[in-house]
Every structure is written in C-alpha cells, then in structure tokens.
Amino acid sequence: PKIIAVDRDGTEKTIDAENGLSLMLNLRDKGDLDIAAICGGMCSCATCHVYVDEAWRDKTGERSIDEFELVEFSAHYQENSRLSCQIEMTDELDGIKVTLAPEE
Ligand code: FES
C-alpha cells in the first residue's frame, strides 16, 4: 500500500508502505521523514503527530483516550490530529494522505 505524506516543508512524498507496521514506522523508516518518535511508538511523546486528511479520518478509527489526552496538549492540535504510532498500516489505508504537524 501507499502513503502520501506531506513533509514539514510542504514536499509531498509517496511511500511504499508495509502492512502491520505503524504509520509512524512507515513514515520514518520507509519514507525517511523527520519523525523523532522519541518514545518509540509507546503513545507518550507526541513527536509522531500528523494530520490525517479528512477523506481518511473514518478509516483510521477513533483516537484512544490516551492518544487524545496527549495530542490535545499540542500547540498544533487540530480536529484531525493523530499520533501516527497509533495507526496500523493495512490495505484498507492504501493511498492515505497525512501531513506532518509542525515540531513543538
Ligand atoms: Fe511517541 Fe508516537 S512515537 S507518541
């Protein structure tokens, strides 16, 4: 499956993603995007913050309470804010578009 990712400088990249890995790992390791992921995907650092394109919000499901509590404290919080380590890549998300949130 593919991920369309908009980097912080506005550049759009298409990434050949791997199913079963989180969006964060795909963006960082397959797409070489600048995601710190300090906590390693444990839903506690919020450095993997992305905005999910409106068309894809339903398919990515709801944020967990832990995820919401973390992300809502971001200075760059938006309705479509997600922690990319909390979304697992599947074929259903083929073509998903996300934009990296600004660094805190
Ligand atoms: Fe730390 Fe996602 S990598 S919250």
**What ipTM describes this predicted complex?**
0.99
Query: Is the CB of 87 within 6 Å of ligand 1?
Result: no
Domain at 51, CATH number: 3.10.20.30
Which range of residues forms the domain containing residue 89? 2-100
Concatenated DSSP letters of 20-76: TSBHHHIIIIIS------TTSSSSSS-TTEEEE-GGGTTTT-PPPHHHHHHHTTSTT
Q: What is the mean pLDDT of the chain?
A: 97
Q: Domain total for the chain?
A: 1
Alpha carbon distance 25, 37 (integer Å): 9
Tokens of 98: 């996300």
Top mutation candidate among 23, 28, 47, 77 for ligand 1, by most atoms within 8 Å of CB: 47
Specify the pLDDT at position 104. Answer: 81
Amino acid identity, residue 81?
A: S
Note the pLDDT tens digit of each residue in 45-94.
999 999 999 999 999 999 999 999 999 999 999 999 999 999 999 999 99
Alpha carbon distance 50, 4 (integer Å): 12
Atom of ligand 1 nearest to the CA of 44: 4
Query: Is the CB of 25 within 6 Å of ligand 1?
Result: no
